[in-house]
Structure 1
Amino acid sequence: MLTVFAAALTAGAAAPAFAHCDSVDGPVAGAALRALETRNVNLALPYAPAAAEAEISRAFTQAAAVRGQGAEARAIADRWFMETVVRLHRAGEGAPYTGLRPAGTDFGPAIPAAERALATGEAAPLAGLLTHAVQHGMTERLGRARAAQEAPAQPRSAAEVPHARTRVSAEFAFIEYVEGIHQAVKGAAAHGGAEAGH
């Protein structure tokens, strides 16, 4: 769920929260490839909901059969199986699948920091990154809102309406940013990060 929180810290939060899961070098595609290489479908199954196990198993059997027909067939089978597992993983998240992203796609600093925390057990660097991002985002939006407060809150003439509108927009942007972070934190606590493959 850290990726949900990190996404909430970015202005606009337009990218899917778990976008790194759909890259060629992401954890889901990597598990799919390892499953094929070791001939063990179980390595891929945890990355999708239990309801998807039958489809993944069928795809695994088909891809494994095709892989032995030469290098080109192997590459196509590998790619197809990775796409299948990633698509089903994304469906389990309730997110659309738009294809595999290329290896090396930059998803920003939060995901690598979260992965390092998982590898080392050290949360302090990740907490520092998130705290800095939250503080920066709040300070920036608060500054804009305070500057906009030079405009009247209650316009007395038509000429003052555009300025008042700018003030209202800046104040709401600040409040909505804070509420978005609060909701992300509440959501992470409620879900406990238990979703498959997150």
Structure 2
Amino acid sequence: MIRIKLLTATTLAAGLLFGTQSAFAHCDSIDGPVAQAALKALDTGNVGLILPYAPATAEAEIEAHFGQALKIRGLGSEAKGFADRAFMETAVRLHRAGEGAAYTGLKPVGMDFGPVIPVAEKAIASGDLDKVRNILVEELQHGLNARFDHVLHTRTSALEPKNPAEVAAARERVSAELGFVTFAEGMRQAAAGAPGHEHRE
């Protein structure tokens, strides 16, 4: 039973991790919020637009790179492209370091991060949470229903198995039951947990 419980918990953790990685990858993309804030900071000459995306301990490094990028930008269009890219990479790298995560390079424009991220961004801009809520409720209901249906499907197995066939059926039942409970608790923890983009000072 412990082994099955660990397996279901690991499966759930993997699902949550992949969702988190999608959000992190979004921050790493050229059209993501960090790189775009870095570009806007250069275009306006206001370093304050990018500083909030990194911990306070990274401010000096960002400001130094910002000044260098502005100087290089003035050397022509080719130099501007190089400076913009280098500063975006610096900003994203320091943003990820502030989260305790590794930087693996800027991701290309137009990556598919799933249905929630673009809708969540629009919710921030509009102040309307309804579409985000609808997607999350639908996903949660689908996950709960699928797992609970599996539980009900396995309820005919023997509660006190006495032969190999009954043991196999009971094992599937136990796995389904623990998977459902673990999923439900995992969703509660995810909803009640700390924000995923905390900066480590």
State the TM bucket, normalised to the shorter chain: 0.7 to 0.9
Match of 1:72 in 2: 78
State whether structure 2 residue 73 is matched by structure 1 residue 28: no
| Higher mean C-alpha displacement, 43-52 vs 83-92 | 83-92
Matched, 1:19 2:25: yes
Structure 1 residue aligned with 2:51? 45
Q: Identity rate of aligned residues, in percent? A: 55
The question of whether the paired residues in 2 share the 8 Å contact of 1:28 and 1:85 is answered with yes
- Aligned equivalents of 1:194 and 1:38: distance in 2? 26
1:130 matched to which residue of 2? 136
Offset of 1:183 from its aligned partner? Answer: 0.5
Q: Is the 8 A contact 2:99 2:197 kept in 1?
A: no
Match of 2:172, as an amino acid? T
For 1:194 and 1:24, locate their aligned partners in 2 and report how far apart those are by CA, in whole Å: 18
- Once the two structures are superposed, residues 72-98 of structure 1 have per-residue CA deviations (whole angstroms, 9 ceiling, x without a partner) of 222122111111111111222223222
2:97 corresponds to which residue?
A: 91
Q: Name the SS for the 2:101 alignment partner.
A: coil
Distance 1:176 1:94, change over 3 A: farther
**Cα contact 2:26–2:113 (8 A) shared by 1:** yes
**What do residues 79-122 of structure 1 show as CA deviations (whole Å, max 9, x unaligned)?**
11111111111222223222211111111111122112211211
Uncovered stretches (5+) of structure 2, i.e. residues with no partner: 1-11
Structure 2 counterpart of 1:44, one-letter code: I
SS in 1 for 2:15: coil
Contact 1:152 1:163 in 2 (8 A): yes
Count residues with an aligned counterpart. Answer: 185
Structure 2 Cα separation of the partners of residues 97 and 81 of structure 1: 14
Residue 33 of structure 1 aligns with an amino acid whose one-letter code is L
Give the TM-score taking structure 1 as reference length. 0.82
1:24, 1:102 within 8 Å by CA — same for their partners in 2?
yes
- How far apart are 1:154 and its partner, in Å? 4.2
Residues 95-174 of structure 1 aligned to structure 2 (within 5 Å): 95-174=101-180
In structure 2, the residue matched to 1:60 is 66
Cα RMSD, aligned residues only: 2.4
Equivalent-residue separation in structure 2 for 1:139 and 1:10 (angstroms) = 19
User: Relative to 1, partners in 2 of residues 1:162 and 1:59: Cα closer, same or farther, differing over 3 Å?
Assistant: farther
Q: Structure 1's 139 and 105: CA in aligned 2 closer, same or farther, altered over 3 A?
A: same
> Is contact 1:153–1:167 with CA below 8 Å preserved after alignment?
no
Kindly provide the amino acid, as one letter, of the partner of residue 133 in structure 1. Answer: E
Displacement after TM superposition at 1:127 (Å): 1.4
Unaligned segments of structure 1, at least 5 residues: 1-8
Find the aligned partners of 1:155 and 1:76 in 2 and give their Cα distance: 68
